[in-house]
């Protein structure tokens, strides 16, 4: 489990076939101290919960299944790609964002980026099946970043990204048309299910 507060921006060092057909193995450079991080630990990579299968002083390796490659934008990663990283939440850690599970619900895209004072107004487009779970003033994880939604218009939603968030995440290098991993707030899913099916 994660909070959506990015703790490092990593870089893909290598991409190779995984141990199973269709899988892919990525080696990621990080500024995190890998010494205390165990093999088998979970790290959110662009919002996708992945398992550390090998590590070194400033890098770790993960294997991504063909299913995950198909359901996220991880399949587009190449050497030099940058990605948001977050170590898994520990009991007692501050919950600065919102509860993020690292289970990507779908892939959206950046529609536009408009400077507004010291921030940038991003407009994202979500797949139709996810858009109904996105609500104004609610939370959504975009490439693993916990964001508060300003407004919703059909399949599109707007978010103001402050300069700090731009500086410490990949959104600082983003561009319109770019694909992003989306995870909707689990609470929104439960509320929608209650409204659709009524109380048990």
Domains 8-87 and 106-197 belong to one CATH topology = yes
CB-CB contact of 179 with 77 (8 Å)? no
- Show me where the domains of the chain are located: 8-87, 106-197
User: Angle 179-180-186 (CA atoms, 0-180°, nearest 5)?
Assistant: 145
Calpha distance 78→33 (Å, rounded): 23
DSSP for 65-132 reads -HHHHHHSSGGG--TT-EEEEEEPP-TT----S--B-S---EEEEEEEEEEETTEEEEEEE--HHHHT
φ, ψ for residue 188, nearest 5 deg: -60, -35
Can you tell me the distance from the alpha carbon of 25 to that of 152, in angstroms, rounded to the nearest whole number?
37
pLDDT at 185: 84
The pLDDT assigned to 34 comes to 96
pLDDT score at 131: 92
Which CATH code, of 1.20.1070.10, 3.40.30.10, 2.40.128.50, 2.40.30.20, is assigned to 106-197?
2.40.30.20
CA torsion angle for 53, 57, 59, 64 (degrees, to 10)? 10
| The pLDDT value given to residue 19 | 86
In this prediction, residue 6 carries a pLDDT of: 96
Run means of pLDDT, 10 residues per run, the chain, 200 residues:
93 94 96 96 97 97 96 96 91 70 95 95 96 92 96 97 96 97 82 63
The reply to whether CATH 3.40.630.30 applies to domain 8-87 is no
């Amino acid at each position: 489990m994660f909070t959506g507060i990015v703790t490092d921006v990593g870089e893909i060092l290598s991409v190779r076939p995984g141990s199973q057909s269709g899988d892919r193995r990525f080696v990621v450079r990080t500024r995190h101290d890998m010494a205390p991080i165990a093999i088998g630990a979970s790290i959110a990579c662009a919002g996708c919960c992945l398992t550390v299968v090998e590590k070194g002083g400033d890098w770790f390796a993960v294997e991504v299944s063909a299913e995950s490659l198909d359901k996220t934008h991880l399949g587009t990663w190449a050497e030099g790609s940058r990605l948001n990283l977050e170590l898994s939440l520990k009991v007692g850690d501050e919950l600065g964002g919102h509860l993020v599970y690292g289970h990507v619900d779908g892939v959206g895209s950046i529609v536009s980026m408009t400077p507004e004072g010291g921030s940038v107004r991003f407009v994202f487009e979500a797949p139709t099946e996810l858009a109904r779970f996105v609500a104004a003033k609610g939370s959504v994880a975009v490439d693993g970043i916990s964001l508060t939604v300003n407004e919703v218009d059909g399949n599109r939603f707007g978010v103001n990204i402050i300069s700090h968030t731009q500086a410490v995440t990949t959104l600082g290098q983003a561009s319109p048309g770019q694909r992003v991993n989306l995870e909707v707030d689990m609470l929104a899913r439960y509320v929608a299910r209650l409204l659709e099916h009524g109380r048990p």
